[in-house]
């Protein structure tokens, strides 16, 4: 196997064995969604209205839950040292880890989101669009988070401080994601513009994230 | 090929650990780094491995693949063995073999006598078995320079002998070894470099 | 441990193999009898034919709770006496109880449509049952992810004990909070409040479902024991190799 | 210092220096609240109406974020072994860790909640009550979470599994917390009953949590 | 006081590690546990420390405070040194001293020669310095039974000598030591217990 794919496979294996993987992600998402009505009350119209927001929040939380340990585990057990000594540029290695993380945490959420949408009585046909926004937007969350994860490893102390600077970057993603979803469900605003911005954000993160993260790790060397 | 350090210095946490270090090592030679706790043995190895950036002085590896840096041509065996408990022994080794440039796993497992345990989750390994698993890495992937940080700790006598064999074989094949240790590691005719106040 | 794993349950296995066929037969009989009686039960004067859902709904609800109670007992067996059979009993009960709880939720909400005009309301009983279902899912999650059965069953046992708090809440939610849902009308002080023409078939159906529950449970226990045997045999083999 | 207090102090020191979940938690809380208006749109009345629910959800999820490493870190570096060899019963040690975690993660949320409440235009005076409900309810969240954290160490599993185990148990807390908060803001239902139940839940968790968690850790020994 | 094990067996991950183990150790005596990697040395120590529950056989410590279990009267020095990188050396030691039953920190730091490093964050320590920090725990809090898992690994010669001193002092004070090691740990007249196939 190539270094790139082997790293993806390895990270996914670990995620599935330790975290329970896709099933667990789905369960988690289900529970988060089920809990909303408890908090907000049984008002179905309201639920439908904030449904997309809830789905997006669930996605963000699921991403964050696993993310902050993404490089920390490798650093603690010495894997990170060896990852840096590989023949493949560190940027690619970081990207591989990001992809593995997205595949194991974000993708399952995207896939089951339509079902959960029903519980929040979002109409079925609109649900397709919501899932689409999640599919287009979650990579941005993951790869922006990547930077924060790398920073928090690079600077042992106060690493979170920088994560604090990174995490707010996810707000635009959430905003446009929810906007696009709402446009798809309720209208009247057009679906196109926010969605294209969402895709742009994801692409930007996909390119920028690995470079920034790799740089952070390198400078973390002392 | 030849590894040379001239006037190398190491500063960690704002404190100077060692300075003005010079040595050169050519193919087939081994360097045994000794010194008190905190003398800078591990730091030196990590520096050579490119895991600590060099502030003063320079390090060079001549005669290897010249496009590759030292890190790509070196194996680093540190205090932490990069092992994922969730993966099986074979999976762990297979991954590092693939990642570090491709190599053959089974002979490596045999070389450290882990064949019977190959399918256990690595979480089940004892300290010495873990150590052997990370040593297997050196065998699986061919790299000219070995950086070994107290390689014999937690190894039982037979495993120590086996390790010595491996190292001799590596040297015989023109490889180089820089090892940090407090006792002997079973390498006769290894040059010694003592750091810090003796 | 490995030794006990093999020895003790053997007697249990032979017992199960003897009992199971009879239990299955009894289940079939009970269902046949109960279904006939249920068919001939009169419709409710206000709920109409939908009242027949009750014959599925009430037993399912009851068995959903029985399932967790059983797991709680098994949990005590696991933690206090460390009895291997207790593990097995608990693990086997989880999916079955989850299934019945799910049925209760589905039938309940189907029944809710005609009677309450909505599939779902967030009242105490419905909520607590939903929590029960989610707890079941968590329990299953433990068994899915645990790497070795012993570790998993002990963790599951603790979750079972913690989750047991929920059972009385389900049972008495209808008394404690004034809910949309029926208060207990079958088993209560001062005699039942349901007309015998419905009560009798309901009781028979409940009996039938209970029999079904235990049939499935015993079968599941048997399979689990066999599965563990295979596993420990594998490990022993590995050990032979090493020695 | 007594063993109990020393453990609290140590955990708080570590949390503060490393950043740990504390910052992440507060930040996530902030993001959730900031995002909602965009999700729901500028309908201020609606915002005010579901404001407490949002605050409670934020608090719950934020607590969750920090929680899953609570015992895992101590397990990984061998501290847990020594904690079990102390002269103090393990239950107390667990409780101490829970308290430290609450002080570093939940308390900050309670303190900033009034500010965030304003963003959700909950009236200022009502906000005091909402904060009070959070103050009374978050201990329940932490100490229920304690059980999940212990279980996920005993299982050598982490990530979403914890959430899956813990969230269902927290639903009652959420319900009564929001109910109390709503009673305080909108009425007409009285504030007393749900609030007392909330306190009861917290007390229950304070007692039950440490025992269950300690049991989980002990039985995780193999 | 006396530590006795009769017919002790250890099963890990469903596999039997050792069985039918008998020994007894009385005050002032040291037991050196040896054996191949994976023979069960660490497992035995963890069992005595109460970190692995005993499935078969029994362990008893007679003559100590009889209300306290073995764990409360034992120090365990494992492969992982329970050190928080974020805390300073002194803070780390102070915490364990407080937690494990109260003790005096400064002399302990002096005993392992870490006084100069006392205010550094523990993240800055070298492998051997970390090891010494966890050894300081044994000195800070008085407990009769020491369980040492390869205590000399990563220690330099002077520290090894110092550790030997400490152990002798502990034995002289009527304490007991059970140590797992592959080489000698500088204790003459320690009884030896070899696990597994030799
Ligand atoms: C999803 C919605 C529902 C859930 C989760 C649910 C749950 C339950 C539970 C847990 C029980 C207790 C069984 C026992 O005590 O052994 C029960 C009993 C019962 N339910 Fe439901 N139920 C739901 C909807 C309904 C509806 C819509 C009706 C009809 C109006 C209904 C009628 C009954 C009756 C008559 C009983 C028997 C009461 C007794 O004698 O204890 N349920 N249900
Ligand atoms: N966590 C675990 N789960 C299951 N099996 C384990 C676990 N840890 C160790 N084992 C197994 O138990 C046996 C004994 O392990 P132990 O660590 O006691 O060996 P050891 O004598 O300390 O070896 P070493 O000299 O390498 O430290 C090994 O065969 C190992 O495979
Ligand atoms: N991460 C770090 N940050 C700052 N200083 C460090 C760090 N790691 C080690 N040091 C300091 O650098 C010096 C050398 O450390 P190093 O680990 O190289 O010593 P060593 O020779 O390997 O000792 P040992 O024999 O104990 O392994 C030590 O004095 C230590 O205090
Ligand atoms: Mg070193
Ligand atoms: Mg060992």
> A41 to chain C: which residues are within 8 Å by CB?
122
pLDDT-based confidence at residue E185 (cuts at 50, 70, 90): confident
Closest to C159 (Cβ–Cβ): which among D156, D165, D171? D165
d(CA D66, CA D81): 22
| Choice between D70 and A35, residue whose per-residue pLDDT is larger | D70
Average pLDDT (C120-147) is 82
Nearest alpha carbon, ligand 2 atom 24: E37
Q: Enumerate long-range contacts of C178-181, CB under 8 Å, 24 or more apart.
A: C179/C123, C179/C124, C179/C125, C179/C126, C180/C116, C180/C121, C180/C123, C181/C123, C181/C125, C181/C126
Task: Give which of E128, E129, E148, E130 is closest to E138, Cα–Cα.
Answer: E148
Q: Render pLDDT for C36-87 as a digit per residue (tens, 0 to 9).
A: 887 777 666 566 667 778 888 989 999 999 999 999 999 998 888 878 788 8
Per-residue pLDDT at C175 = 65
Task: Look at residue C163 and tell me whether its pLDDT is greater than 70.
Answer: yes
Task: Give which of D40, D72, D24 is closest to D213, Cα–Cα.
Answer: D72
Please, what sign has the CA dihedral across residues A216, A220, B3, B7? positive
Distance between E195 CA and the closest CA of chain B, angstroms:
12
Distance between C1 CA and the closest CA of chain E, angstroms:
7
> A96 to chain B: which residues are within 8 Å by CB?
none
Task: Give which of A46, C243, C119, B14 is closest to D46, Cα–Cα.
Answer: A46
Quickly count: other Cβ atoms within 10 Å of residue C12's Cβ.
Answer: 17
> E84 to chain A: which residues are within 8 Å by CB?
none
* C240 contact E CB<8A: no
Lowest-pLDDT range, C67-81, D20-34, D71-85, D141-155?
D20-34
Task: Look at residue E121 and tell me whether its pLDDT is greater than 80.
Answer: yes
| Choice between B177 and A32, residue whose per-residue pLDDT is larger | B177
Which residues make Cβ contacts (< 8 Å) with residue C214, sequence separation at least 6?
A: C23
Task: Look at residue C6 and tell me whether its pLDDT is greater than 50.
Answer: no
Q: ipTM of the predicted structure? A: 0.86
Which residues make Cβ contacts (< 8 Å) with residue A119, sequence separation at least 6?
A: A33, A34
Which residues make Cβ contacts (< 8 Å) with residue C39, sequence separation at least 6?
A: none
Distance between C227 CA and the closest CA of chain A, angstroms:
20
Per-residue pLDDT at B119 = 87
Closest to C242 (Cβ–Cβ): which among B116, B121, B123? B116
Per-residue pLDDT at B127 = 92
Per-residue pLDDT at C122 = 65
Closest to D24 (Cβ–Cβ): which among A68, A170, A182? A68
Cβ of residue B183 lying under 6 Å from some atom of ligand 3:
no
**Rama region for A29: left / alpha / beta (φ>0; ψ in -120 to 50; rest):** alpha
C206 C-alpha to ligand 1 centroid (Å): 13
Lowest-pLDDT range, A33-37, A153-157, A212-216, D172-176?
A153-157
d(CA E182, CA B173): 30
Whether E155 sits inside 8 A of B182 (CB atoms) is yes
pLDDT-based confidence at residue C17 (cuts at 50, 70, 90): confident
Quickly count: other Cβ atoms within 10 Å of residue D175's Cβ.
Answer: 24
Per-residue pLDDT at C2 = 40
pTM: 0.88
A79 C-alpha to ligand 4 centroid (Å): 17
Whether D161 sits inside 8 A of C141 (CB atoms) is yes
Residues β-bridged to residue C55: none
Task: Look at residue E133 and tell me whether its pLDDT is greater than 90.
Answer: yes
Average pLDDT (A152-161) is 62
Instruction: Name the percent of chain C in helix, strand, coil, to the closest 5.
Output: 80, 0, 15
Average pLDDT of chain D?
84
d(CA A132, CA A114): 10
Cβ of residue E154 lying under 6 Å from some atom of ligand 3:
yes
Per-residue pLDDT at A181 = 83
Nearest alpha carbon, ligand 3 atom 2: E124
Lowest-pLDDT range, B54-58, C10-14, C54-58?
C10-14
Per-residue pLDDT at D140 = 94
B124 C-alpha to ligand 2 centroid (Å): 6
pLDDT-based confidence at residue C5 (cuts at 50, 70, 90): very low
Distance between A46 CA and the closest CA of chain E, angstroms:
46
Q: Render pLDDT for D88-122 as a digit per residue (tens, 0 to 9).
A: 999 999 999 999 999 988 888 888 888 888 777 77
Average pLDDT of chain A?
82
Cβ of residue C111 lying under 6 Å from some atom of ligand 1:
yes
Residue percentage of chain A with pLDDT more than 90: 21
Task: Look at residue C237 and tell me whether its pLDDT is greater than 90.
Answer: no
Torsion of Cα atoms, D14 then D15 then D18 then D24, to 10°: 170
Task: Look at residue C243 and tell me whether its pLDDT is greater than 60.
Answer: no
Per-residue pLDDT at C7 = 45
Whether C155 sits inside 8 A of D155 (CB atoms) is yes
Nearest alpha carbon, ligand 2 atom 16: E40
Q: Render pLDDT for E30-55 as a digit per residue (tens, 0 to 9).
A: 999 999 998 999 999 999 999 988 88
pLDDT-based confidence at residue C189 (cuts at 50, 70, 90): very low
Per-residue pLDDT at D21 = 54
Whether A38 sits inside 8 A of C120 (CB atoms) is no
Per-residue pLDDT at A158 = 47
Task: Look at residue C90 and tell me whether its pLDDT is greater than 50.
Answer: yes
Closest to C79 (Cβ–Cβ): which among D151, D154, D219? D219
Average pLDDT (E83-112) is 91
> A61 to chain D: which residues are within 8 Å by CB?
28, 61, 64-65
* Residue list, CB under 5 A from ion ligand 5: B 127; E 42
What is the maximal distance between C-alpha atoms in chain A?
57
């Amino acid at each position: 196997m190539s270094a790139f794919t082997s790293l993806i496979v390895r990270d996914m294996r670990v995620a599935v064995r330790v975290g329970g993987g896709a099933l667990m992600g789905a369960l988690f998402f289900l529970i988060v969604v089920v809990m909303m009505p408890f908090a907000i009350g049984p008002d179905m119209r309201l639920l439908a209205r904030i449904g997309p927001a809830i789905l997006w929040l669930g996605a963000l939380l699921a991403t964050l839950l696993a993310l902050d340990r993404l490089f920390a585990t490798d650093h603690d057990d010495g894997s990170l040292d060896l990852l840096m000594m590989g023949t493949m540029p560190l940027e690619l290695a970081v990207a591989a880890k990001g992809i593995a993380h997205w595949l194991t945490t974000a993708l399952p959420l995207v896939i089951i989101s339509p079902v959960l949408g029903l519980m929040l009585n979002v109409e079925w046909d609109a649900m397709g669009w919501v899932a689409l926004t999640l599919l287009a937007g979650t990579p941005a969350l993951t790869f922006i988070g990547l930077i924060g994860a790398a920073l928090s490893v690079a600077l042992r102390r106060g690493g979170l401080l920088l994560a604090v600077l990174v995490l707010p970057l996810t707000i635009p993603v959430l905003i446009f994601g929810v906007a696009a979803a709402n446009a798809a469900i309720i209208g009247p605003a057009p679906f196109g513009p926010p969605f294209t911005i969402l895709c742009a954000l994801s692409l930007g993160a996909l390119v920028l994230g690995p470079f920034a993260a790799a740089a952070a790790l390198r400078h973390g060397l002392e | 090929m030849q590894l040379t350090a001239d006037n190398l210095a190491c500063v960690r946490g704002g404190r100077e650990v060692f300075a003005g270090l010079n040595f050169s090592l050519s193919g087939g030679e081994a360097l045994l780094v000794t010194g008190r706790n905190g003398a800078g043995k591990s730091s030196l190895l990590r520096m050579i491995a490119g895991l600590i950036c060099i502030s003063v002085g320079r390090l060079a590896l001549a005669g290897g693949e010249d496009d590759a840096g030292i890190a790509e041509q070196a194996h680093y065996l540190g205090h932490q063995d990069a092992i994922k408990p969730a993966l099986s022994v074979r999976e762990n080794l297979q991954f590092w073999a693939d990642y570090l440039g491709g190599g053959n796993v089974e002979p490596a497992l045999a070389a450290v006598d882990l064949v019977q345990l190959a399918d256990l989750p690595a979480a089940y390994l004892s300290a010495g078995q873990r150590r052997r698993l990370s040593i297997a890495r050196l065998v699986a992937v061919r790299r000219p320079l070995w950086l070994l940080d107290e390689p014999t700790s937690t190894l039982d006598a037979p495993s120590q002998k086996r390790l010595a064999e491996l190292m001799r074989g590596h040297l015989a094949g023109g490889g180089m070894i820089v090892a940090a240790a407090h006792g002997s590691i079973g390498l006769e005719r290894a040059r010694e470099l003592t750091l810090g106040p003796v | 441990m490995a030794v006990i794993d093999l020895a003790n349950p053997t007697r249990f296995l032979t017992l199960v193999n003897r009992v199971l066929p009879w239990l299955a037969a009894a289940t079939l009989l009970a269902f046949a009898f109960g279904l006939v009686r249920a068919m001939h039960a009169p419709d409710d004067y206000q709920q109409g034919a939908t009242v027949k859902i009750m014959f599925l709904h009430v037993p399912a609800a009851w068995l959903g709770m029985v399932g967790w109670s059983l797991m709680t007992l098994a949990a005590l067996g696991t933690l206090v006496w460390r009895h291997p059979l207790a593990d097995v009993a608990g693990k086997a009960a989880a999916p079955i109880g989850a299934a019945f709880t799910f049925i209760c939720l589905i039938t309940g909400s189907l029944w809710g449509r005609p009677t309450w005009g909505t599939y779902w309301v967030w009242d105490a009983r419905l909520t607590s049952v939903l929590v029960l279902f989610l707890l079941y899912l968590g329990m299953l999650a433990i068994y899915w992810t645990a790497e070795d059965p012993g570790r998993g069953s002990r963790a599951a046992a603790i979750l079972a004990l913690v989750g047991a708090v929920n059972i009385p809440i389900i049972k008495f939610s209808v008394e404690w909070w004034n809910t949309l849902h029926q208060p207990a009308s079958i088993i209560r002080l001062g005699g039942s409040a349901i007309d015998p023409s419905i009560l009798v078939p309901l009781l028979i159906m409940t009996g039938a479902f209970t029999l079904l529950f235990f049939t499935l449970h015993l079968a599941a226990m048997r399979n689990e024991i066999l599965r563990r045997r295979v596993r420990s045999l594998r490990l022993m083999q590995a050990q032979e190799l090493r020695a």
